[in-house]
Amino acid sequence: MSDFEPKIIAFCCQYCAYSAADMAGSMRLQYPTNVEIVLIPCTGRFDMLFALKAFEGGADGVYVAGCLEGTCHFLDGNIRAKKRVNYLRNELKNMGVEEERLRMYNLSASQGPRFMEIAYEFTDLIKQLGPSPFKKKDAA
């Protein structure tokens, strides 16, 4: 599956991960083009349907990136997001799909390099897992 290029959707909080992505950009750090970023005002805005719709739309993996615990701009948005991510990971498991296809990451706005690292780490993970089992099987 070496030529498999996964499609990854990253829901990024504007106060941390999104700014970190910006910083990675200004530092001219390259991160995999597989990752498509969706800006959210806080990971507390993350809705389980966002991830489900991403999978329906053909994503092979989804991650939510929020502030370090204890530093959420809205106090506990990232903690609440983590609970939703965990709930949905369990649902994925119930559906017989690798829960690792959905993950939560935490980082701060100043961690441009960490943003890049996460993008590589998750992309590699999804490459190992292979294409999303949710993708409609073509009449094989």
Partner 1 sequence: MIIAERKPFEELKGFVADKKKVLVVGCRGCVTVCNAGGTKEVGILASELRLDAGKDGRELTVDEHTLERQCDPEYIEELVEMVGKNYDAILSMACSVGPQFISTRYPDQTVYPSLNTLFMGGALQHGIWAERCQGCGNCVIHNFGGMCPVARCAKSLQNGPCGGSANGVCEISKEVDCIWHLIATKMMETGKVETDFAPVQPIKDWSTSRDGGPRKVVREDLVK
Q: Which of 115, 134, 133, 123 is nearest to 6 (CA)?
A: 123
* Alpha-carbon gap, residue 79 to 91, rounded angstroms: 19
Stretch that binds partner 1, among 5-13, 61-69, 90-98, 102-110 (CB under 8 A): 90-98
74 binds partner 1 (CB under 8 A): no
Q: Which is nearer to partner 1, 2 or 94 (CB)?
A: 94
Secondary structure element (H or E) that encloses residue 77, with its range: helix 77-94
38: β partners: 11
Please, what is the minimum distance in Å from the beta carbon of residue 19 to partner 1? 29
52-71 footprint of partner 1 as x/- string (CB under 8 A):
xx-xx---------------
- Smallest separation (angstroms) from partner 1 to the CB of 106: 22
Per CB under 8 A, does 134 bind partner 1? yes
**3-state DSSP assignment of residue 43:** helix
Taking residues 8 to 47 in sequence order and writing x for each that binds partner 1 by CB under 8 A, - otherwise, the string is ---------------------------------------x
Calculate the alpha carbon distances from 50 to 37, 40, 47, 56, 85 in Å: 13, 11, 5, 10, 11
Would the CA dihedral through 19, 21, 25, 28 be positive or negative?
Answer: positive
Q: Give me the residues that bind partner 1 (CB under 8 A), please.
A: 47-49, 52-53, 55-56, 91, 94-97, 133-137, 140
